[in-house]
Amino acid sequence: MPVPVPDPPFLVSEALHLGVTRKQLRSPRLHAPVRGVRMDAARREDLRSVATAVRLALPPTAAFSHTTAAALWELPLPRDVSGLAPLHVSGPSGTRALDATGVVSHGGLPARDVVARHGLDVTSLDRTVADLAALVAAGGPGLTETDLVVVVDSVLGGRGRARPVPPDLLADRLRGMRGRRGVVPLASALDRARRFVDSPMETRLRLRLVDSGFPCPVVGADVFDDDGRWLARPDLCWPDLRIALEYDGQHHLTSARQRLNDVARQEELERLGWRVIVLFAYDVLGRWPSTEGRVLQAFLDRGVRPAEVPDAPDAGARPRVVTSAHRIG
């Protein structure tokens, strides 16, 4: 009578030791993410499940890194960049974490850069950002300098995590990378990154504006009236000009309450003399010349050109704007 197959994931060597046959190990219900490991075939596209299985084949000093760690941290990677294909693992200098098809092994990983995430050993957030910068510098497929800024914005804002990463920690990481691959793109990303960003598309919108010659706007400011009443939190704004940009993501289209709240806040700002421009994904990724023209016209209506307005610096605390009913322009 055949020995029952262990609950996946498991090592092939341990299953054979228990008496499981090789025919049983070839069951279509099982998948081999790497040689010597079996997992539930139904979960072969789930990164956390694959990583849990592959961990069985890793030495104790290894950790998931690069895009794999970024995906496990739920950082906003581009759609064509996967944490699964390939899997990235890192280990200490002079070691090869895993020699397997579909796995990229890296060295130079000290123990201090390894933390736990979902029960898995992964590189810390600041180390993960540095590793992504190295991929950008190497011309890694699918990752651009803009993508890196999107990631840094997310890390600084703590989106999807309990606590944001302090900018000083990333700056320390950059200083420690001196002479290594990734320094230039990471330095640029840290300079262009901002806190208080709510979504990757807001980052992409801000970067496109700056690259098109507009001053860097204030990000995520709380706007109050003269009585101290909170009015709105526009995604991007130039407070002195009373110009606000709102990125309307797909989730707004499926939430009537959210949409009503957005419209009410927009009308309140407009009542106080603000110009509110609502943008959608296609405005940012598709018809950019039209979007650029709309924003430029808002500046011209205020009597200024973009080059005459200084960049807003990165704020250490969420910006606070007080606005009155006085109209301008």
Residues 151 and 263 in one domain: no
How many domains does one find in the chain?
Answer: 3
Give the total residue count for the chain: 329
The domain boundary, picked from 38, 57, 76, lies at: 57
Residues 75 and 177 in one domain: yes
Phi then psi for residue 264, to 5 deg, are: -65, -45
- CA distance linking residue 286 with residue 101, whole number of Å: 38
Residues 114 and 187 in one domain: yes
CA neighbours within 13 Å on the CB side: how many for 259? 8
Total Cβ atoms within 10 A of residue 327: 10
Could you tell me the pTM of the whole model?
0.92
- CA distance linking residue 136 with residue 148, whole number of Å: 8
User: pLDDT tens track of the chain, all 329 residues?
Assistant: 577 888 999 999 999 999 999 999 999 999 999 999 999 999 999 999 999 999 999 999 999 999 999 999 999 999 989 888 899 999 999 888 898 999 999 999 999 999 999 999 999 999 999 999 999 999 877 899 999 999 999 999 987 665 789 999 999 999 999 888 999 999 999 999 999 999 999 999 999 999 999 999 999 999 999 999 999 999 999 999 999 999 988 655 567 777 788 888 899 999 999 999 999 999 999 999 999 999 999 999 999 999 999 999 988 899 999 998 755 54
Asked whether the CA dihedral 264, 265, 266, 270 is positive or negative, the reply is: positive
Q: Which domain holds residue 285?
A: 200-322
What is each CA distance from 156 to 126, 182, 195, 252, 280, in whole angstroms?
10, 19, 6, 24, 24
The domain boundary, picked from 145, 173, 192, lies at: 192
How many angstroms from the chain centroid is the CA of residue 225?
Answer: 33
The domain boundary, picked from 192, 225, 257, lies at: 192
Domain of 309, CATH number, reads: 3.40.960.10
Residues 46 and 63 in one domain: no
Residues 43 and 118 in one domain: no
Residues 123 and 212 in one domain: no
Residues 50 and 133 in one domain: no
Residues 24 and 65 in one domain: no
Residues 67 and 153 in one domain: yes
Q: What is the CA radius of gyration of the chain?
A: 24
